[in-house]
């Protein structure tokens, strides 16, 4: 989990250094991936039952041609590492429980 905190610190710091607005809510996308559609679907349902906004699963092709399934959980949050880490911890645990991969989070620059 410490690795996710370091990554989150880097993302937030980079956005703020680039001039992103610290006063607005951000649409934070938490990414999930699995080769097994059934497991991924179970994870999406579990996230939905926890009250999260879950996007439709999609099939993705990796650089090596391998295909995987993915979905995002979308949360509106302050650009604050502690706030974002609360969701990271819950969603990483959910991914582990469902035997899928939590693949980090991202957001977009806000003026």
Whether the CB-CB separation of 92 and 102 falls below 8 Å is answered with yes
Residues 12-36 pLDDT 10s: 999 999 999 999 999 999 999 999 9
pLDDT, average across residues 83-92: 96
DSSP H stretches of helix in 18-110: 37-49, 81-98
Instruction: Please give the model's pTM, rounded to 2 decimal places.
Output: 0.91
Instruction: Name 59's Cβ contacts closer than 8 Å, sequence gap at least 6.
Output: 67, 68, 69, 70
pLDDT (0 to 100) of residue 5: 87
């Amino acid at each position: 989990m410490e690795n996710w905190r370091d990554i989150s610190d880097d993302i937030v710091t980079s956005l703020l250094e680039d001039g992103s607005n610290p006063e607005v809510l951000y649409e934070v996308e938490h990414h999930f991936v699995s080769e097994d559609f059934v497991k991924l679907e179970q994870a999406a349902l579990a996230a939905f039952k926890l009250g999260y906004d879950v996007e439709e699963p999609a099939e993705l092709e990796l650089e090596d041609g391998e295909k995987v399934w993915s979905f995002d959980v979308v949360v509106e949050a302050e650009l604050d590492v502690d706030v974002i880490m609360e969701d990271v911890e819950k969603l990483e645990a959910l991914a582990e429980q469902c035997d899928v991969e939590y693949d980090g989070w991202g957001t977009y620059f806000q003026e």
